[in-house]
């Protein structure tokens, strides 16, 4: 991502405009197109699934309705036939051929000789819900009025009825159907009953085959019916068992369909006579009483054909947009790039030092405003530059004058202390010594002798302090001692006062013609040495002074802990060092080695020192 951002930033304006416009517009088109495509795809998928589901449900209802009609007609025919038989037996009873009990026994024998379906049977109840006849003797004589479907039988007495029933010894309820006829003389409701799943043979597939095959989805989608073992019940193109059929990837999709029984699948299929496999969507439902799976299917390429047209329309719109954006971008970028390039040329000239450059007249747009502001800026910059150069020259002259005056006054005051006050105090010390000796010859004045000794000591201390003060104000006296002597004296004082090993080295004698410059060098060395002692905890410091052809090199090296990573911004030490070096026109290098000390090197061109008088 960072590389991509960097690459984009480095592009020229024309490429950025074209890329930016294209990216925004194409991205907007893609987002909008994706939303439309997704919405259309969802709508198409929902529509085809809804159509397939409705078709499957319609086929399911057709099969179930056909089956219900077949079962109802079969049970009705059996019930009506048995009613006729009972009527004939009753006629014989009325004729005196049979007693009522013999007639009913014969009727029961007729009932018991019949099996409806595989396990179905005929039973009779009366209007009170009492079981008059049932093939299971334990049921006879029991009243079932409280049972829901029996209550309906008592109410209706004739007609078709479906209900769920579980016989004694069975694990679960099963769907059952009955047709009943009423024989009023005996108050018998003759019920022909059997389980619905035992009447599969009664359903005639030809009754609904044409209706199923007439259903089409898209150009070549169709409906079909299989049983759970993969046997084809209804299919427009194939017959037989297809349980082992596989798609183009080798999946046994028919086995999967038979396993699921309800739901939807996507698989690839090739009908007889077709050259290639095509992806297909199928939605299916299960009819458990007949062990049939009713399915409706359609090819996905036919389902999504409208979406493919939408894709091509979107692609054409994107290409057309790019074709329109390119000339528009070139036109807009040209109006920006030409004045920008001119501005860059003028800025380059200004950077090279020509502050008189100006932009030519430009239109009143943003580029024109930028040009006018550039001209105003360059005009002000030129004025500021000229004024600043004058101010810098004057300031430098004043700084040099001020520093020279300051150094001269310090040296003057140092000479007064050294040449006037110093001898005066030395003379006083001599007189106090003479006074002490006189007082010592008079024993009665012993206390005065002690006081005179104290006075002499104080005067001697004052003489020493005066010398030190004079040396501080005038550390280098080129004509008398020289820079080397001052630096050597500094090294001795640092070693004595701070207890560190501070040494001074000089290969050859160095004579400076400018005492002010020597004083600045002295203070630079002084600041570096005291920084090493106070802030760097240095234990060893080396000061070296070398005259190398046209350069005077002064180097201070210590073994302290070095400068901190973030020096105190309020500290003035380094700033003063750099200021004095700049004043001398020297090069100041500071090499920091954390944990191993600091090396400060001052390199001064000899032309700035030897034979030079006043620095101003």
- Burial code (b: 16+ CB inside 10 Å, e: under 16) for 544-566 equals bbebeeeebebbbbbbbbbbeee
Q: Which of 138, 90, 126 is nearest to 110 (CA)?
A: 90
Distance CA 298, CA 421 (A): 123
3-state SS, one letter per residue, for 85-151: HHHHHHHHHHCCCCCHHHHHHHHHHHHHCCCECCCEEEEEECCCCEEEECCCCCCCCCECCCCHHHH
Between residues 574 and 588, the one the model is more confident about: 588
CATH of 205-303, one of 3.50.50.60, 3.30.70.100, 3.30.450.20, 3.40.50.1440: 3.30.450.20
Alpha-carbon 344 to chain mean position? 39
Predicted model pTM? 0.42
Comparing C-alpha atoms, which of 611, 411, 598, 597 is closest to residue 522? Answer: 411
Asked if 107 and 85 count as a contact pair (C-beta separation under 8 A), the reply is: yes
Looking at residue 415, its pLDDT comes to 62
Q: How much is the average pLDDT of 212-240?
A: 86
- Please say if the pLDDT value at position 387 is more than 60: yes
- Among residues 550, 475, 534, 452, the alpha carbon closest in space to that of 500 is found at 534
pLDDT at 612: 42
Residue 283 to residue 71: CA distance in whole angstroms: 28
* Average pLDDT value over all residues in the chain: 80
CA distance 612 to 616: 10
Residue-wise over 358-394: b if at least 16 C-beta within 10 A, else e?
ebeebeeeebeeebeebbeebeeebeeeeeeeeeeee
For 391-440, the pLDDT digits (tens) are: 888 877 777 677 667 766 666 666 666 566 667 667 776 677 776 677 77
The DSSP annotation for 192-250 comes to EEEEGGG-GGG--GGGTHHHHHT-EETTTEEEEEEETTSBEEE-SS--SB-TT---TT-
HEC letters along 46-84 = HHHHHHHHHHHHHHHHHHHHHHHHHHHHHHHHHHHHHHH
pLDDT(517) > 80:
no
A 10 A CB-CB count for 139 gives 14
Based on the number of CB atoms within 10 Å of its own CB, is 63 exposed (0-12), middle (13-18) or buried (19 or more)? buried
- Its CATH architecture, for the domain 477-616, is 2-Layer Sandwich (3.30)
In this prediction, residues 365-369 reach a mean pLDDT of: 74
Collapsed DSSP state (helix, strand, coil) of residue 330: helix
Spatial CA neighbour of 235 closest among 59, 54, 64: 59
Phi, psi of 21 (to 5 degrees): -60, -50
Among 525, 81, 52, 26, CA closest to 294:
52
Banded model confidence at residue 123, pLDDT cuts 50, 70, 90: very high
- Residues 93-103, mean pLDDT to the nearest whole number: 91
Query: What's the chain's length in residues?
Result: 616
Of 95-109, 151-165, 308-322, 533-547, the range with the lowest mean pLDDT is 308-322
Residue 143 to residue 69: CA distance in whole angstroms:
31
Q: How far apart are CA 130 and CA 142, in angstroms?
A: 6
Residue 277, CB-side half-sphere exposure with 13 Å CA sphere: 13
Q: What is the pLDDT of residues 497-510, one digit of tens each?
A: 888 999 999 877 66
456 CB neighbour count, 10 Å cutoff:
19
**Strand bridging mode 501-506 / 540-548:** parallel
Closest among 229, 117, 224 to 178, alpha carbons compared: 117
Most confident listed range (37-46, 254-263, 434-443): 254-263
Residue 252, class by beta-carbon neighbours within 10 Å (0-12 exposed, 13-18 middle, 19+ buried)? middle
Quickly tell me which residue has 């038979």 as its tokens: 258
The domain locations on the chain are: 205-303, 372-474, 477-616
Q: What phi and psi, each to the nearest 5 degrees, are found at residue 275?
A: -90, -30
Question: What is the C-alpha separation between 397 and 290, in angstroms, rounded?
Answer: 117
């Amino acid at each position: 991502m960072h590389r991509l951002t960097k690459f984009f930033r480095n592009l020229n304006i024309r490429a950025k405009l074209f890329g930016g416009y294209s990216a925004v517009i194409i991205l907007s088109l893609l987002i909008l197109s994706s939303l439309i495509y997704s919405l259309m795809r969802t709508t198409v998928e929902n529509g085809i699934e809804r159509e397939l589901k409705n078709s499957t449900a319609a086929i399911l209802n057709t099969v179930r309705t056909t089956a219900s009609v077949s079962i109802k007609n079969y049970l009705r025919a059996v019930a009506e036939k048995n009613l006729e038989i009972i009527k004939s037996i009753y006629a014989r009873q009325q004729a005196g051929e049979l007693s009522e009990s013999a007639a009913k026994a014969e009727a029961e024998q007729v009932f018991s000789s019949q099996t409806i379906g595989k396990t179905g049977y005929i039973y009779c109840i009366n209007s009170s819900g009492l079981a008059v006849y049932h093939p299971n003797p334990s049921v006879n004589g029991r009243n079932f009025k409280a049972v829901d479907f029996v209550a309906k039988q008592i109410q209706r007495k004739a007609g078709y009825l479906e209900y769920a029933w579980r016989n004694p010894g069975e694990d679960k309820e099963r769907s059952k159907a009955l047709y009943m006829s009423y024989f009023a003389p005996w108050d018998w409701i003759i019920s022909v009953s059997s389980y619905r799943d035992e009447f599969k043979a009664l359903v005639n597939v030809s009754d609904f085959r044409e209706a199923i095959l007439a259903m089409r989805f898209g150009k070549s989608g169709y409906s079909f019916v299989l049983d759970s073992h993969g046997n084809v019940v209804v299919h427009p193109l194939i017959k037989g068992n297809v349980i082992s059929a596989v798609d183009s990837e080798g999946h046994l999709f028919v086995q999967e369909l038979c396993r699921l029984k309800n739901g939807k699948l996507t698989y690839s299929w090739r009908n007889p006579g077709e050259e290639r496999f095509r992806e297909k969507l199928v939605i299916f439902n299960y009819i458990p009483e007949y062990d049939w799976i009713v399915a409706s299917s359609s090819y996905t390429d036919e389902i999504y054909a409208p979406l493919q047209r939408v894709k091509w329309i979107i692609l054409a719109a994107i290409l057309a947009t790019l074709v329109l954006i390119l000339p528009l971008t070139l036109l807009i970028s040209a109006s920006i790039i030409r004045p920008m390039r001119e501005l860059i040329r003028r800025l380059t000239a200004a950077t090279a030092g020509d502050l008189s450059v100006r932009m030519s007249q430009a239109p009143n747009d943003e580029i024109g405003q930028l040009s006018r502001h550039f001209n105003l800026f360059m005009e002000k910059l030129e004025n500021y530059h000229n004024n600043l150069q004058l101010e810098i020259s004057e300031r430098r002259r004043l700084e040099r004058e001020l520093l020279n005056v300051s150094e001269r006054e310090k040296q003057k005051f140092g000479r007064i202390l050294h040449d006037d006050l110093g001898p005066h105090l030395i003379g006083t010390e001599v007189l106090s010594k003479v006074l002490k000796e006189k007082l010592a010859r008079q024993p009665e004045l012993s206390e005065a002798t002690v006081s005179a000794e104290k006075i002499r000591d104080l005067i001697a201390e004052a003489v020493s302090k005066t010398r030190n003060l004079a040396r501080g104000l005038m550390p280098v006296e080129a004509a008398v001692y020289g820079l080397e002597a001052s630096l050597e004296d500094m090294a001795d004082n640092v070693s004595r006062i701070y207890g560190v090993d501070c040494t001074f080295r000089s290969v050859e004698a160095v004579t400076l013609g400018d005492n002010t410059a020597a004083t600045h060098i002295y203070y630079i060395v002084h600041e570096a040495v005291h920084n090493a002692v106070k802030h760097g905890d240095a234990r060893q410091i080396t000061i070296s002074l070398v005259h190398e052809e046209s350069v005077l090199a002064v180097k201070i090296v210590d073994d302290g802990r070095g400068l901190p990573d973030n020096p105190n911004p309020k500290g003035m030490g380094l700033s003063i060092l750099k200021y004095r070096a700049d004043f001398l026109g020297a090069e100041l290098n500071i090499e920091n080695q954390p944990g191993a000390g600091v090396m400060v090197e001052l390199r001064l061109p000899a032309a700035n020192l030897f034979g030079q008088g006043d620095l101003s």
